[in-house]
Structure 1
């Protein structure tokens, strides 16, 4: 299995958002390294139709769930079942976490004249 990236050797930009994503074609998994600066947050929302594994790489923060909050620190691994409420709030050192989930099918627009 080829090494895709090293999570401890990521560039300083972007400051917020996806720092790295799998780009290899023909895969069944998706993965993203997400960065939130200190005090920043991703508001609680209902997750997609895929189970998501979250691994905290660096920093700290809080995982916001429908029925409370869980502290996050480096090394923590969480399983977020599909369609559950989740949000993230970075602590004073920011938060970086890796997500892994089944690849979602992209929407395709099909020409109605080609279906017969």
Structure 2
């Protein structure tokens, strides 16, 4: 997120800052400065605003006992790092059953795998990282494939 001064809160850096034509390494977010588990609503608490990056990330919060329903990401592998709280990862097609989630646990969610997340009694906060999806491209009529001929 970007504040009114054009900097990423808690970092003092301006997105897109460059030296010698290349982007500068920089702190993106201080997760310790995000709202506490008891204070935050469910949803994304942070995501990067920097353009031109190849990775995407989110810090997500689930309120106590809230759930992300079973879904699959068909195109991207995802890393999930539990930052705070507890919960369970449900998976389909495995003999393991639900996996317990706790702060410090790092999970690989391979593309195509089905999974669900359920927050524990104090809630759950986690970071996801994956390859950035390409943006939607708008094409003009000249770029469009011709309409098929009527039969």
TM-score, reference length from structure 2: 0.72
Instruction: Name the counterpart of 1:9.
Output: 33
8 A Cα contact 1:47 1:86, kept in partner: no
Q: Secondary structure at the match of 2:59?
A: strand
Measure, in 2, the Cα distance between the counterparts of 1:106 and 1:14: 29
Larger Rg: 2
Q: Secondary structure at the match of 1:8?
A: helix
Instruction: Name the counterpart of 2:104.
Output: 75
1:25-36 mapped onto 2 (5 Å cutoff): 25-36=51-62
Deviates more, 1:56-65 or 1:106-115: 106-115
Q: As a proportion of its length, which structure holds more strand? A: 1
Unmatched 5+ stretches in structure 2: 1-24, 146-151
Q: Secondary structure at the match of 1:49?
A: coil
8 A Cα contact 2:40 2:63, kept in partner: no
After TM superposition, give the deviation of residue 8 of structure 1 in Å.
Answer: 1.6
8 A Cα contact 2:62 2:123, kept in partner: yes
Measure, in 2, the Cα distance between the counterparts of 1:76 and 1:98: 11
Q: Where do 4+ consecutive residues of structure 1 move more than 6 Å?
A: none
Unmatched 5+ stretches in structure 1: none
After TM superposition, give the deviation of residue 49 of structure 1 in Å.
Answer: 0.6
Instruction: Name the counterpart of 2:3.
Output: none
8 A Cα contact 2:83 2:125, kept in partner: yes
8 A Cα contact 1:56 1:73, kept in partner: yes
Q: Which has the higher contact order (CA 8 A, sep 6+)?
A: 1
Q: Kindly report the root-mean-square deviation, in angstroms, between the aligned alpha carbons of the 2 structures.
A: 1.7
Alignment counterpart, residue 21 of structure 1, candidates 24, 37, 47? 47
Alignment counterpart, residue 120 of structure 2, candidates 74, 88, 91? 91
